Structure 1
Amino acid sequence: MPKIEELVKVKQFANPWHRVTINVIYTSNWLNVMLEKRAGAKQLTLQQFNVLRVLRGQFPSPVTNNLLKERLLTKTPDISRLVDRIVGKGLASRAKNHEDKRAVDLLITDKGLQLLSEIEQDMMLEDILQTSISSDDCLQLSELLDKFRGKMDD
């Protein structure tokens, strides 16, 4: 397993904080590429997959664009276009919101639920993670990442 120094071709980092910063960024990018490939195999983007997960999580209640913006893992400035693509694929349906005339309600369709059930296990990267790190390591890594984010300002 190559070390981050080998991957980014650096002899030595300035300090452990510099090394972990580069390692987190590099690993995040690696994960995004892996997930985009897996989503792409089902003609989805990673953001579309995440929208479907949010819609399923709220099902059978509808979701507005504003709720999607709050819940998405990656922020997107053009939520309307993202929603248009999902609706166009028949993975979600759109209806007028009765309380707010400017808002639109989104609901995942049976087709969207079926697609999620087909792809979700691949998207959790269990096949890679289970061969790379133990469940205890996963828990420890998650705790460290939570601790790291706890000190960040938005």
Structure 2
Amino acid sequence: MNVEEIIKTKTNIPLPKRTIIHLSLVVNKIDEIIATALKPYEISIQQYNVLSILRGQKGNPANLSTINERMVTKMSNTTRLVDKLIMKGFVKRRVCKENRRKVEILITETGLNILTEIDGILFETEKRILENFNENDLNEFNILLDKF
């Protein structure tokens, strides 16, 4: 019996543990579905997150620590993510004119264009993921999640 079957049968797993396992399975499934949607664009969920953060800067640069603070998944390899996006032409790096020790990251026009293309795909993917929930369900679910 796999973990999903155990959860469904509600065996003797204590409720807190069952809840954590269930949440983990759902998060992994959502990540898998979104990663599949992003695969044709050859970017990861984390790379997409960096691009979204930079788009939110509205033309202003961000440094690595700002990007890392705003990442959905906190990680220490933000530099590597940015390097990959630079190689793809989606972002550029420059030295700050006022402080030469500071590195600034900016999204390129190519990065903005790929995000625009991906936005529609992800909107449909998110709709599909949540198709079994009505608006009231989603509001209640968000209220519960806010307790974290």
Q: TM-score range by the shorter chain?
A: 0.7 to 0.9
**Comparing 26-35 and 127-136, the one that deviates more:** 127-136
**Comparing 125-134 and 138-147, the one that deviates more:** 125-134
Residue 118 of structure 1 aligns with an amino acid whose one-letter code is E
> Offset of 1:80 from its aligned partner?
1.3
The question of whether the paired residues in 2 share the 8 Å contact of 1:13 and 1:19 is answered with: no
Q: Using a 3 Å threshold, how does the CA distance of structure 1 residues 145 and 13 change in structure 2: closer, same or farther?
A: farther
- Return the alpha-carbon distance in structure 2 between the equivalents of residues 127 and 76 of structure 1: 27
Per-residue CA deviation, residues 40-64 of structure 1 (Å, 9 max, x unaligned), is 1211011100000000001211010
- Return the alpha-carbon distance in structure 2 between the equivalents of residues 130 and 28 of structure 1: 13
Per-residue CA deviation, residues 108-132 of structure 1 (Å, 9 max, x unaligned), is 1111111111112332433314521
- Return the alpha-carbon distance in structure 1 between the equivalents of residues 15 and 32 of structure 2: 26
Counterpart mapping for 1:17-32 below 5 A: 17-32=16-31
Specify which of 1, 5, 10 is matched with residue 9 of structure 1.
5
The aligned length equals 144
Please give the secondary structure, in 2, of the residue aligned with 1:100.
coil
Counterpart mapping for 1:14-93 below 5 A: 14-93=13-92
The question of whether the paired residues in 1 share the 8 Å contact of 2:68 and 2:75 is answered with: yes
Q: Structure 1: any 5+ residue segments left out of the alignment?
A: 150-154
> Offset of 1:6 from its aligned partner?
7.2
> Offset of 1:13 from its aligned partner?
4.2
- Return the alpha-carbon distance in structure 2 between the equivalents of residues 135 and 7 of structure 1: 29
Structure 2 length normalisation: TM-score? 0.87
- Return the alpha-carbon distance in structure 2 between the equivalents of residues 25 and 133 of structure 1: 19
Q: Structure 2: any 5+ residue segments left out of the alignment?
A: none
Please give the secondary structure, in 2, of the residue aligned with 1:48.
helix
> Offset of 1:29 from its aligned partner?
0.6
> Offset of 1:9 from its aligned partner?
2.7
Corresponding residue number in structure 1 for 2:132: 132
Percentage identity across aligned positions?
Answer: 28
Structure 1 length normalisation: TM-score? 0.84
